[in-house]
Amino acid sequence: MTAIPATTAPPGEEPSDAAQDDYARRVRQQIEQYEADVAIHDLPAIFHEWSNRFVLPGIKAVYGKDTIIGVYADGFMDSVNRVGGRPRFLSLGCGDGGTEIEIAQELHALGLKEFDFVCIDLSPLLLQRFAERIPPGLVDCFILRHGDINQQIMDQRFHAIMANHSLHHMVELEEIFAATFAALHDQGSFLTNDMIGRNGHQRWPETRIFVDFFWPMLTERQRNNLQLRRPEPRFIDHDCSTSGFEGIRAQDILPLILAAGFRSHSFLGFGGFIDPFVDRSFGHNFSPAEPDDVFLIRRMGLLNEILLDTGAIKPTMMLARFVKYPTNEIAYRRRTAAASLRDTDRAPTWLAGALADLELVADDPAFVFKRETQESRSLIAEIVSLRKHIDDLQTSLAAQADRVAALDRQAEEQTRLIDRLHASTSWRVTSPLRRIMRGVRGR
């Protein structure tokens, strides 16, 4: 999803040519990322194994829903009931509209048939796909707009505003959140599901240590980065913001929302060191059908929850609803919005000692657990292949046996026929036979 306003410059100054060129390059990369007609929301199957076990309980506890679509629709409906009038909704960085269409369908199911859903995005290609996929019964509900968010929403008021995995692509967050605050009705809601970890989706040092702790336990196959198409014997903390705007200011999103004057109505913080193991780069290397993979991901997920609850690490994702009016925040396991903020200038006091301890065991040549496991799996694969070959041979032998049995039955039938001929007393049969027999003896 893309919705990125113009590049910034110090107050009173124009952006330099170099800054403008860099910004233009990033915009091209961001748009080109979605030029291929692919399912841009697809996640590895193991992600859902993890999220269903460790994230879904939080969604149910905070929102009383079991889907993110339900969370958005419920927030929209509550805002409609509070504000009144013809509902107007806004999506910042709508992308191809998959989420927005599902929300609209849910609103229809809840009885809200007439509303205006304004959806803004930077990519004309994604907006075209959005327009093409709107069901006929919802066409009149959507208003699709291309361009700068600030220019689109400054003079309008909305019952609810949403940003679904789009904020981490945006640069001028201060202006965007100020405009969003101004455009939202006093009793409205700002809902978002987005990334709030370190810029470029990198790990904070206190989170990276746990990734490095588990990394040697992975197989060679599991350490293969599918998105960047490279093996990573040691985990490489890739800065995604070097291409396009991916995670460009992720760490600023939550603090700037609160700084803009929004109050946290309901907040679910999740994610952490578990992210690379279940996300698109490495997550496809883990299979829910493989018991060892599931066991490892579940153990990682449990530790991740413990670390979040103790505050040792901070959430990297949020599903949150913000409002302008006073409210008592609903948070999962005391992971409030304020508690989820990470001081970017100060590392935890325990980190230095932990990093030193990890360095002492960073390389252990005697560690062969995963190598043996890989060899065992290769042997199992060979055994499975041999068993299939044996099954194929047995099937072939069974077919041959059926054919032999059929020939045996034909031979028996011929034998019985000859026996009947020999035993026959009919002169029409026996006379020719006697002539044949005399001819044979004469030879």
5 in a structural domain: no
First to last CA, the chain: 99
What is the rounded distance in angstroms from the CA atom of residue 428 to the CA atom of residue 432? 7
Q: How many CA atoms lie within 13 A of 426 on its CB side?
A: 5
Q: In the predicted model, is pLDDT for residue 155 greater than 80?
A: no
What is the rounded distance in angstroms from the CA atom of residue 123 to the CA atom of residue 146? 7
Judged by phi (left if over 0) then psi (alpha if -120 to 50, else beta), residue 147 lies in left
2-11, 22-31, 386-395: lowest mean pLDDT where? 2-11
Q: pTM of whole model > 0.85? A: no
pLDDT of residue 373: 58
Are 252 and 352 contained in the same domain?
yes
Are 333 and 388 contained in the same domain?
no
pLDDT of residue 37: 42
Are 339 and 383 contained in the same domain?
no
pLDDT of residue 162: 98
Are 39 and 110 contained in the same domain?
yes
What is the rounded distance in angstroms from the CA atom of residue 106 to the CA atom of residue 71? 10
Are 341 and 426 contained in the same domain?
no
Q: Which domain holds residue 438?
A: 370-442
Structure confidence at residue 5 as a pLDDT band (50, 70, 90): very low
Work out how many domains the chain is built from and give that number: 2
3-state helix, strand, coil in the chain (%, to 5): 55, 15, 35
The pair of three-digit structure tokens given for residue 102, joined into one six-digit string: 């599902």
Are 112 and 240 contained in the same domain?
yes
383 in a structural domain: yes
Are 330 and 402 contained in the same domain?
no
The pair of three-digit structure tokens given for residue 278, joined into one six-digit string: 């279940």
Looking at every residue in the chain, the average pLDDT score rounds to 86
Mean pLDDT confidence for 342-349: 94
pLDDT of residue 112: 98
Are 246 and 325 contained in the same domain?
yes
Grouping H, G, I as helix, E, B as strand and the rest as coil, residue 90 is strand
87 in a structural domain: yes
Radius of gyration of the chain (CA): 34
Find the helix packing angle between 205-214 and 291-310, rounded to 10°.
160
Q: Model confidence over 74-120: pLDDT tens digits?
A: 999 999 999 999 999 999 999 999 999 999 999 999 999 999 999 99
Q: Model confidence over 183-233: pLDDT tens digits?
A: 999 999 999 999 999 999 999 999 999 999 999 999 989 999 999 999 999
Q: Model confidence over 315-331: pLDDT tens digits?
A: 999 999 999 999 999 99
Strands 330-331 and 230-231: unpaired
Are 345 and 392 contained in the same domain?
no
pLDDT of residue 26: 47
Q: In the predicted model, is pLDDT for residue 407 greater than 90?
A: no
CATH at 182:
3.40.50.150
Contact 239, 202 (CB under 8 A): yes
Q: In the predicted model, is pLDDT for residue 411 greater than 70?
A: yes
Q: In the predicted model, is pLDDT for residue 357 greater than 80?
A: yes
Are 209 and 262 contained in the same domain?
yes
Are 219 and 168 contained in the same domain?
yes
Are 324 and 374 contained in the same domain?
no
Contact 322, 264 (CB under 8 A): yes
pLDDT of residue 17: 61
Of 319, 341, 360, the residue at which a domain comes to its end is 360
Q: In the predicted model, is pLDDT for residue 440 greater than 60?
A: no
